[in-house]
Each structure stands twice: as C-alpha cells, then as structure tokens.
Structure 1
Amino acid sequence: MSIPYSNIFSICPKNWEIAPLQEHLFFQEGPGILAKDFRDSGVSLLRLAGVGDKFATLDGCNFLDPEMVDKKWPHFRLDAGDIVTSASASFGRTSIVGKATEGAISYTGIIRFRPRTNKIVPGFIELFLRSPFFENQARSFAVGGVIQHFGPTHLKQMAIALPPIEEQMAISSIIGAFDDKIELNRRMHATLKATAQALFKSWFVDFDPVRAKMEGRAPEGMDEATAALFPDGLEESESDLGRVPRGWKVQSLDEIAEFLNGLALQKFPATDPAGSLPVIKIAELRNGISAKSDRASRDVPEKYIIEDGDFLFSWSGSLLAKFWTEGEGALNQHLFKVTSERYPMWFVSHWVHHHLEEFQSIAASKATTMGHIQRSHLKSAMAICPMDDALKKFDTVMAPFIDASIRNEIESRSLATLRDTLLSKLLRGELRVAQAEKEIFA
C-alpha cells in the first residue's frame, strides 16, 4: 500500500516505522445525532466546547436517552484513555478522556482514537494529533468552505511515523511535563479569577463588609485595617441602583475608563512579514494568535499597538473581555482597548465583566448579522466607586490577583511555544530524547 504524504517524515531515523494511520490506530467519529434526540438528562453528549484542555470536559453538553443509546449507539461510548479531537473548524483541539467523561457519547465532528496494536502508546497518539504532521495531512484533505472538516475516510489515507515504544514513552514524558505545568497554571488562573470575582462582588456589589458593620459585626475574612476602609452605612444614590455605601460615588463605565476603538487595519498592510504585527480581531481575542492571523504594518499609530497586560473588550459579535497575554499586536476595529487614568484596571475590568452578560443580551437582540453594543450602553452601565484613599488601599489586596494571573498566562504561552518546538523536532527525529533533556535541564 502506498502511503500518501510520507515525504513529511523523510528525515525520520531509520529505525522508525512509517505506516498507514489505520494500521496502528482505531478511530471512530461520533454518530449522527440530531437536536430532536436531546433530553434533559441521561447519557452525556460530549460537545466541541469540552475538547481542548488536557482532559475532555462536559462543558456545554447535551443528554441522550439511555435506552436510545443502548439501542442505536452502544459502541460509541467513550472509554477512559481514549483520545478525542475535533474534525472540523478548530483543528488541533485534542483531549484525553478521563473518568469524568467516561461513558459519554461524542458528537458528530469529534473523532476518538485508541491504539489498534501494541506498537503505539496512547500518550503518543495525543502528541501526534496535536502535531503539524497530523494537521498538515488533515488540512490537505479538509473539505468545505468557511468551516472545513475531515473524517474517517481521510484518516484512512494518512500516515504516521512511529519511534520504538521506549522512545514514544520518553517523548510523551518530556512533553507531558510541559503540559502538566501549563495545566497547573490554568488551574491557578481559574482559582485567582474566581477568588478575585468573589471578593469584588462581596465588596463592591453586595456590600457585605458595609452590611456587617451596620449590624455591629466585624466583616469576615479581613483584618481591622481593611475593614476600616468600608463605611458603616448605606445612602440613597441618584441612580436607579438604590442605596450604596456612604460617601461612594456612582459613575458610568465611560466615566471611569476610556474605550479606544481599533482601526480598519487593511489600511496598514504588512509589506514586511518579519517586521509586521499580528492583527488582533475577535478570533484572536478568543483563541490567540495563530498562523492564520492577519498581519499589519508597524506604521500603525502607537496607541493602537497592544502589549501583554492590556485589557481588551470586543463590542460586537462574540462579546468578550480579557487581559491580553499573547504578545505585541495591532488592535482591529470592533475591539476596545480599555484604559483609565484614575482607576486601577482590576477595578475597571471587574465592572466591565459585571455588565458583560447584559451587553451580550443587548447584542443578541440586534436584528443584524453581527450584534453589537453602542457607546450609549457604556454610558448607561453604572459602577459604584469608593473614595480615592480607600481605593488605593483596596488596590494592594486586589491588584496581585490580576498581576499573578497575567504572569501565569504569559508563562504558559512561553512554555507552549517551547513545547511545540520540541514536539515538532522530536516527532521528526530531528532532536532525540537525550538531546532534548540536555536542552531543557541545562
């Protein structure tokens, strides 16, 4: 049997086996399930939203009737250790099936893999599916217009390069160490974010410390110096927010921050790709910079150049808000760069997130192709602002959460870049395991 695209493995060591993918891997796409099959409970249906992290999750899952599953799809239940990957839209979204997703059914557009022979280990399958050697083959077969996809028919025409089992395990161990650190950073980021959000809501939305002092109780979870920053009473505000802490002001989002709209960056074409900037659009805000990102000239005015730690907010399409950690880029239209001369960015960012669900609802109600909000909505969205001296002291408590979160994200980006570089070289045999260990631990 001739093996298409084997030339991409042409520099592999002689003791590696170049083989058809189907010879050593079992693969199966999820069954054709329709919306009418969904139930309120039952067998979980793994969706694309749950694929991408190290372990698959049931985020955004639907449910299927157990009797229907046993009758129509009994052989599609996922086993712990299976590897799942997206067959459309976002190539490279790959996860391991753990205990939490064992027994679920994967939706159409998700393919699960497992070893067919003893010449490949599951960990190596995962690495191969995330590598350019798989992606390049998948894209060469992918069909469709805006959303491309491939399927089992195409997989049967693909090839894989297999090192000896011992080397597969060593490669998996090296790359796994990077993945473990990135996963730890992700969990730390989630914990920092949840803690900061809980504190913000308690202090600036629910006014728990103020209410405790009104009842003669010491505010929970803080020392006396921090508790002293909160007033001991509420007063009526001029807005429709009702009673707010005594002495605190109510201001609109556009009063506490500046919202700089991006540019139509096709007016700044990149003439030199090496000296250009990636264009930050809504897709980049969601998924990060990629090889598919547009490029812009460095002639872009300086205020539209984005750096790590800048807070960005997309005001149309998929309304998102986050601190940017993907390196230097150019701000495209439909995104705001949010800054403030008076208020710290942790404070501004939390108020944007506080109103984000409302903004998303407004955008969804627009009878247009791409819903959006207007500056008038920023003017009508209110923030409750402490007195300046108190805010400065609150900053010493709240700012470290944001700073640590940004550092974690930047470190994870650097680790991912190094991991992907090593993976590419290791899977081609261009770099051997012993050499990689020396480079990492030197």
Structure 2
Amino acid sequence: ATLEAIAQALFKSWFVDFDPVRAKLEGRAPEGMDEATAALFPDGFEASELGLVPRGWRVLPVGDAVDAVGGATPDTKNPSYWEPAIHCWTTPKDLSGIAAPVLLDTERKLSDQGLAKIGSGALPVGTLLLSSRAPIGYLALAQVPLAINQGYIAMLPGGLLPPLYMLFWCRQNMENIKGRANGSTFMEISKKAFRPISALVPSPELVQAFAGVAGVLFDKLIENEKQAQTLATLRDTLLPRLISGQLRLPIPV
C-alpha cells in the first residue's frame, strides 16, 4: 500500500497539480528530482479544453493515446473451450479480492479452442485491466498473458501512455469514467463511451521518466505480492495437516 501510495502521489504532483511546472514558473528548482528530469518540464502554461495545462502538452481522446480492447466469454457448456485448461482467462471477479493492483493468476483457464473464440486473443504481460461493469472501477496490471471477458476494458502496452501511467490516470479520472456509464440492468462503461474521454498527454520523455520511477516501485510491489501468495499457499497446505495431527512439529526440550 505504501509503494502504491508513493507512485500515486508522484503522478498527482507531476500530472495533476503540475508542481514542477509551477516551481519553474516561479523561478524555483522543482523538488525531489535531478536536473535532467526537471528539464523535461516546461516553465509555463497554456489554455486547453481541460483548462490551463503545461505548455506543449497535448490533449487527446484517450482512445488515441492507448489501444483499448474488450473480450468475450466462450460457451461455458462446451467443454472443448475449457479443457485442457491452458490459457489464463479473467473476469472482474478475479480482481475483487486482490490487495494490490496486480493480477498474478486467474480462477479459470481456456483451451486453445476457447482462446480462439475471443477476438482480442491473449493480451501481453503489463496490460492494464479496468472492470467496465459489475462494478466499474477495479484496476490491475496483468502479470501473466491472459484473455479477458466482456466485463473489461483492457489497455495494452505500446501506446502513447503506458499501462502503468494509465493505472493512475484511471484512478484520477474514475468519477468521469463512471459518469459516462449507462445501462438498465447494471451500469456499464463501453469502449465507445470510454475512448472519447479527454486525456492530457505529456512529452514521451517525461512519460518515460515517470514510468521508470514508478516502475521500480511496482517491481517491488509485485515481488511482495508473489511472496505473500507463496506464503499463503504454504499456510493453506500445512495448517490443515497441523490441526489434524497429520503433521507434527518437534517440541524443543
């Protein structure tokens, strides 16, 4: 939680409050960064549809800044789509109980035939998952290649704004995202409604600098989550054996 909070605070300072730009505008050196990083920030603002933004940064529909795709559910009554279980396949249920915004595994898996039924196919490690319904707003970075069901909008690596940047962008803009949802049975944000949302796009060099700093924090976060999962598996394996007496520990004398 601490690592995630540090990255979120950095995102807000750089890309929401524009602290380094304000510092340079006032003739001060931006705090907490080296000269090379500070040089990536402009020293003034300009008008845009989002209000005053740092000079030279662009405002684009988010769909132009990232590749956003959806998924599907193969026929659950057709066992050939699910056996042998090879490819990770996720629904928003997988994100409901996670402690950190990283997905290490999925409850269900698809066969080769099942994967072929999903137009977006297997998405790469690093893809950002945003649950688009029931409920809207779960977020996680995939740590395994996986396919998704229709309850997601997935943002792929390789766009103008990388998935790690978009994780914090979505958090910052979640009320706007939810405000574009509609539906009679349950609220849902479609890809068509999501893609036109305006996003502020800094220079590629600055986005890369943020991804470098936040990436170090998230690498540590991911390692912590893997270790926690290993310990939980060990606990779940050993505890029943200890309680039943199947496994006994030597008592020191």
- 1:258 maps to 67
Residues 317 and 198 (structure 1), Cα distance of their counterparts in 2 relative to 1, 3 Å cut: same
- 1:351 maps to 169
Q: Deviation per CA, 1:156-177: give whole Å up to 9, x if none.
A: xxxxxxxxxxxxxxxxxxxxxx
Deviation at 1:208, TM superposition (A): 0.8
Name the CA distance, whole Å, in 2 between partners of 1:304 and 1:338: 13
SS at match of 2:31: coil
Look up the equivalent residue of 2:14 and give its one-letter code: W
Name the CA distance, whole Å, in 2 between partners of 1:314 and 1:329: 15
Residues 236 and 361 (structure 1), Cα distance of their counterparts in 2 relative to 1, 3 Å cut: closer
1:416 corresponds to 2:242: no
Name the CA distance, whole Å, in 1 between partners of 2:78 and 2:110: 5
Deviation at 1:421, TM superposition (A): 1.1
1:377 to 193, 200, 212: 193
Q: Deviation per CA, 1:347-404: give whole Å up to 9, x if none.
A: 12222222223223443xx351211012233233222122223333333222212222
For the 8 Å contact 1:355–1:381, the answer to whether it is kept is: no
1:323 to 141, 144, 149: 141
For the 8 Å contact 1:265–1:279, the answer to whether it is kept is: no
For the 8 Å contact 2:60–2:200, the answer to whether it is kept is: yes
Name the CA distance, whole Å, in 2 between partners of 1:360 and 1:224: 39
Name the CA distance, whole Å, in 1 between partners of 2:244 and 2:123: 35
Name the CA distance, whole Å, in 2 between partners of 1:352 and 1:194: 15
Count of aligned pairs: 239
SS at match of 1:323: strand
Residues 221 and 248 (structure 1), Cα distance of their counterparts in 2 relative to 1, 3 Å cut: same
- 1:222 maps to 33
Residues 264 and 308 (structure 1), Cα distance of their counterparts in 2 relative to 1, 3 Å cut: same
Q: What 5-or-longer segments of structure 1 have no aligned partner?
A: 1-189, 436-442
Deviation at 1:296, TM superposition (A): 3.0
Name the CA distance, whole Å, in 2 between partners of 1:355 and 1:251: 14
Name the CA distance, whole Å, in 1 between partners of 2:150 and 2:87: 15
Residues 433 and 259 (structure 1), Cα distance of their counterparts in 2 relative to 1, 3 Å cut: farther
Deviation at 1:201, TM superposition (A): 0.8
- 2:184 maps to 368
Correspondences of 1:19-418 after superposition (within 5 Å): 190-237=1-48, 240-266=49-75, 269-271=78-80, 275-277=85-87, 279-287=89-97, 293-299=107-113, 300-301=115-116, 304-305=121-122, 309-319=126-136, 320-324=138-142, 329-342=146-159, 343-363=161-181, 366=182, 368-418=184-234
Residues 395 and 265 (structure 1), Cα distance of their counterparts in 2 relative to 1, 3 Å cut: same
For the 8 Å contact 1:425–1:431, the answer to whether it is kept is: yes
Deviation at 1:220, TM superposition (A): 2.0
For the 8 Å contact 2:70–2:191, the answer to whether it is kept is: no
Deviation at 1:312, TM superposition (A): 0.9
The two structures, once aligned, show a CA RMSD in angstroms of 2.8
SS at match of 2:33: coil
Look up the equivalent residue of 1:191 and give its one-letter code: T
Deviation at 1:284, TM superposition (A): 1.5
Percent identity, aligned pairs only, is 36
Residues 308 and 406 (structure 1), Cα distance of their counterparts in 2 relative to 1, 3 Å cut: farther
For the 8 Å contact 1:256–1:348, the answer to whether it is kept is: no
Name the CA distance, whole Å, in 1 between partners of 2:154 and 2:86: 20
SS at match of 1:399: helix
Larger Rg: 1
Residues 279 and 376 (structure 1), Cα distance of their counterparts in 2 relative to 1, 3 Å cut: closer
Deviation at 1:276, TM superposition (A): 4.3
Q: What 5-or-longer segments of structure 2 have no aligned partner?
A: none
Deviation at 1:306, TM superposition (A): 5.5
Name the CA distance, whole Å, in 2 between partners of 1:273 and 1:429: 36
For the 8 Å contact 2:126–2:156, the answer to whether it is kept is: no
- 1:28 maps to none
Name the CA distance, whole Å, in 2 between partners of 1:304 and 1:434: 51
For the 8 Å contact 1:269–1:296, the answer to whether it is kept is: no
Name the CA distance, whole Å, in 1 between partners of 2:60 and 2:130: 19
Residues 421 and 413 (structure 1), Cα distance of their counterparts in 2 relative to 1, 3 Å cut: same
Look up the equivalent residue of 1:360 and give its one-letter code: K
For the 8 Å contact 2:177–2:194, the answer to whether it is kept is: no
For the 8 Å contact 2:129–2:153, the answer to whether it is kept is: yes
TM-score when scaled to structure 1? 0.49
SS at match of 2:93: helix
- 1:102 maps to none
| Higher RCO structure (Cα 8 Å, ≥6 apart) | 2
Name the CA distance, whole Å, in 2 between partners of 1:304 and 1:295: 13
Deviation at 1:295, TM superposition (A): 4.7
